[in-house]
Amino acid sequence: MANILCIGAGYVGGSTMPIVASHCPQHRFVIVDINEARIAAWQSDKLPIYEPGLDEIVTKTRGRNLFFSTDVNKHIAEADIIFVSVNTPTKTFGQGAGRAADLQYWEKTARQILENSTTSKIVVEKSTLPVRTAEAMERILNSNGSGLHFDVLSNPEFLAEGTAVRDMENPDRILIGGRETESGRKGVETLVELYANWVPRERIITTNLWSSELSKLVANAFLAQRISSINSISALCEMTEADVSEVAHAIGLDNRIGKYFLRAGVGFGGSCFKKDILNLVYLCEHYGLPEVARYWEQVVAMNEYQEMRFASKMVSSMFNTVAGKRIALFGAAFKANTNDTRESPALEVCRALLEERADIVITDPQAMENAQYDLGELAKRVTFEADPYAAAQGAHAVAILTEWSQFAQLDYEKIYASMIRPAFLFDGRNLVDHLKLYEIGFNVYPIGKPALTHLRSQ
């Protein structure tokens, strides 16, 4: 039996470790966090994150071989293997502000591991980090001449929110990077054995430390790049009467391109794509590669353009003013099946419309609390309404900003009947049947497809 600790009970630590624990009943897992409220929530019936299928797994493992705690030091002392999944947000101050990763939480953790260790350990980078962070980590951990030895491994996480359980149960691959030394190789083998409890061996790949660290940033950059690429084409489609869904389907059938991540929309959100690309940009600049930096920076610029293009289209379509007009935003989460609103395009659109003095109502099945928190002071100017029908009542426009299946199943005749005329529907996720809504009476504005409008001269 090994004592396995995860530092950081956020989206990653909290959703991955219970699954590992469920497949490895022979080991004891503890997840710690400095955030007491978060740990209390993990110990309660209402988990701090909404992730389909996770409740059952936590209920099954909690108290059996999975424990939550705020006593970080005690559990560091007891651990054989430590996964570190603390947050690594974009730096907001000093050198590299707005681009580089803020490594303060990560470094504090490293020092805390060192201070509280009485035995040698394997330390696993689960957080997404700049390439060569493991080197700094090794220097800190092996700095006090205590005779203890720390093997630092990189094991980046590739799960997506909303499908975390599925992704972790059946991953495309598990990536483990380690040193090419005897003890480094032993550490890698220990981690391979852990995952091999449920992941087929051929899907567990091992690389050197730097390839592993860099692959995580590159995977996110490539995924985001595909979205920005198709979103850039959506703008051209709107000008030419081409249909972006048809274009995506046609190009995606080419095996070399592939069909995934070609869904045009209001832009990508989430806590990682933007952060990780900016981190890549910063690294390229740091290593004297400004052309490479500019190339990747454009993926983020295109995303911001897409978000603003959507908000501007709403304003221009509604006779160039939304001041005082009630507008219902369907969705606040950055994607369906999560309560996460970090970097959500829905909130970007909300901010842009508030700037235009619109009267905003937000509805979302899971993410209202986080939306309120993320909007900060602006939340006071927004109405939060759990019932989408009530949100749309008396509105000039509905904007679909998150692809919750619930929103596709609503009775849009009922919604139309309760709205001000002309009634507008902006579909930022191409979620609903546009022709049907047009026939009900809506002026419909999809992404990357011709608008269907009853207004003359448009």
The reply on whether position 335 binds ligand UGA by CB under 6 A is yes
The reply on whether position 269 binds ligand UGA by CB under 6 A is yes
Residue of 81, 110, 168, 272 that binds ligand UGA (CB under 6 A): 272
The reply on whether position 137 binds ligand NAD by CB under 6 A is no
Taking the least distance from each CB to ligand NAD, the nearer of 10 and 365 is: 10
Task: Choose one: 10-18, 20-28, 180-188, 445-453; the region binding ligand NAD (CB under 6 A).
Answer: 10-18
How many whole angstroms separate alpha carbon 190 and alpha carbon 47? 30
The length of the chain is 458
For residue 179 the two structure tokens come to 């040193």
Residues 123-152 that bind ligand UGA (CB under 6 A): 128
Residue of 77, 136, 140, 160 that binds ligand UGA (CB under 6 A): 160
How many whole angstroms separate alpha carbon 30 and alpha carbon 52? 22
Least distance (Å) from ligand NAD to the CB of residue 173?
14
Taking the least distance from each CB to ligand NAD, the nearer of 278 and 352 is: 278
> Which residues lie across from 6 on neighbouring strands?
31, 83
β-strand pairing of 66-69 with 81-84:
unpaired
How many whole angstroms separate alpha carbon 399 and alpha carbon 393? 13
Taking the least distance from each CB to ligand NAD, the nearer of 61 and 154 is: 154
Peptide bond into 422 cis (omega under 30): yes
What does 7 bind: ligand UGA, ligand NAD, none (CB cut-off 5 to 8 Å by kind)? ligand NAD
Residue of 14, 178, 270, 448 that binds ligand UGA (CB under 6 A): 270
What does 305 bind: ligand NAD, ligand UGA, none (CB cut-off 5 to 8 Å by kind)? none
Asked if residues 188 and 364 have their Cβ atoms less than 8 Å apart, the reply is no
What does 265 bind: ligand UGA, ligand NAD, none (CB cut-off 5 to 8 Å by kind)? ligand UGA
Peptide bond into 18 cis (omega under 30): no
Helices 290-317 & 345-355 angle (0-180, nearest 10):
60
What is the CB neighbour count within 10 angstroms for residue 1?
A: 10
Least distance (Å) from ligand UGA to the CB of residue 104?
19
Which residue carries 């842009």 as its tokens? 352
The reply on whether position 339 binds ligand NAD by CB under 6 A is no
The reply on whether position 337 binds ligand NAD by CB under 6 A is no
How many residues sit close enough to ligand UGA to count as binding (CB under 6 A)?
20
Residue of 83, 195, 334, 426 that binds ligand UGA (CB under 6 A): 334
The reply on whether position 310 binds ligand UGA by CB under 6 A is no
The reply on whether position 174 binds ligand UGA by CB under 6 A is no
Asked if residues 110 and 76 have their Cβ atoms less than 8 Å apart, the reply is no
For residue 71 the two structure tokens come to 């006593």
Residue of 4, 11, 23, 281 that binds ligand NAD (CB under 6 A): 11
Which residues 6+ apart lie within 8 Å of 409 measured at CB?
none
Taking the least distance from each CB to ligand UGA, the nearer of 184 and 448 is: 448
Catalytic (active-site) positions: 272
The reply on whether position 271 binds ligand NAD by CB under 6 A is yes
Residues 23-82 that bind ligand NAD (CB under 6 A): 32-35, 38, 72
Identity of the amino acid at 49:
I
Asked if residues 303 and 268 have their Cβ atoms less than 8 Å apart, the reply is yes
Backbone angles phi, psi at 306, to 5 degrees: -65, -40
Residue of 117, 128, 133, 393 that binds ligand NAD (CB under 6 A): 128
Residues 401-440, one symbol each (x = binds ligand UGA by CB under 6 A, - = not), give: ----------------------------------------
Burial of 162 (0-12, 13-18, 19+ CB in 10 A): buried
Which residues 6+ apart lie within 8 Å of 171 measured at CB?
158, 159, 199, 203
Nearest to 371 by CA among 50, 99, 87: 50
Q: Which residues bind ligand UGA (CB under 6 A)?
A: 128, 157-161, 220, 223, 227, 261-263, 265, 268-270, 272-273, 334-335
Q: Which residues bind ligand NAD (CB under 6 A)?
A: 7-13, 32-35, 38, 72, 85-88, 105, 108-109, 127-128, 157, 159, 161, 271-272
